[in-house]
Amino acid sequence: MTDQNDDEEGSDAFLKCFGKQLKLFRKRAGLTQAELGGRIGYSLDQVASAERGRRIPQPELIDGADRELDAGGVLSAMKEEVARASYPPFFRDAARMEADAVELHAYDTHVLNGLLQTEEYARALFTMQRPLLDEETIDERLAARMARHDIFQRRPAPTLSFVIEEPVLQRPLGGIPVQRGQLEHLLLIGQKRNVEIQVMPCDREDNAGVDGPFKLLTHRDGDQVAYMETQGRSTTATGREEVRSIAARHGIIRAQALTPRESLAFIEKRLGEL
């Protein structure tokens, strides 16, 4: 497991490097920070903070700067890595693995997987974290989480499956309108050919997932890893026997859950009850 201080230092160094690149392109274009900000819809302070590596710039700021400064895609190419700096240190390695995965299988027990969350649902989760996060951090982490949804547009499309415990669908986190929008979103995502969503109902007398949530990620080279997190800490299992054991458990969990078709009907019924 990567040391958290090393992650934070590496992230800070990358943001400063990106800021220097942004400044070089701006000066080459003969623009002041205020002029660049005015062209792309951001304040002088936001541009200055990005150049100094003090603030994680929004994807729209990066794309706008790349376009206005004629950077030829150099700045936009760093957008994903900049977004990862918004993640909590314990998740940064997992974000890289997720971005490279050709298969991702997740089992979730308390909240929906980040890849399935609507913006409103995700914001509600960030807002209720303790200790409380400041608004700027919430905005940064929200942008990073939404950027992860690019996985659904990737070509070739990765194979994605999600098993969700029934109580996750029952919790009105953020309020009933947020819950309703989230369930509608699940129904849309579940229609994608490369995505399977399954629900583990509460009435199951046998549940192989009692040890908690996890993800299985398969890389292009065929290697598979298991990722687990709780209380701001994460563990990545790479040993063949340990991963094989978790993968076998995942297979049993999927067999015990409702089928994808039954699960979408279950979600639709739950939506109709709200």
How many whole angstroms separate alpha carbon 197 and alpha carbon 189?
A: 8
Q: Which of the pair, 137 or 172, is modelled with greater confidence? A: 172
| Secondary structure letter of residue 29 according to DSSP | T
Residue 1 pLDDT greater than 50, yes or no: no
Token pair belonging to 47: 């541009």
What is the DSSP secondary structure assignment for residue 222, as one 8-state letter?
S
Check whether 121 has a pLDDT greater than 50: yes
Return the bridge partners of 104, or none.
Answer: 160, 217
Q: 92: closest CA among 103, 77, 81?
A: 81
Looking at the chain, the whole-number percentage of residues with pLDDT higher than 90 is: 75
**156-168 confidence digits (pLDDT tens):** 999 999 999 999 9
- Gap between the Cα atoms of 120 and 173, Å rounded: 10
Distance (Å, whole) CA 39 – CA 207: 56
Rounded-to-integer distance, Cα 125 and Cα 117, Å: 10
pLDDT at residue 102 in the model:
96
Which residue in 165, 259, 170, 254 sits closest to 213, CA to CA? 165
Per-residue pLDDT at 157:
94
Q: What does the block give as tokens for 124?
A: 């509600």
Q: Which of the four pLDDT bands, split at 50, 70 and 90, describes residue 94?
A: confident
Quick one: pLDDT at residue 127?
97
pTM: 0.79
Average pLDDT, the chain: 92
Q: Taking residues 61-74, report their average pLDDT.
A: 95
Give the mean pLDDT of 184-198.
Answer: 97
Per DSSP, the three-state class of 68 is: helix
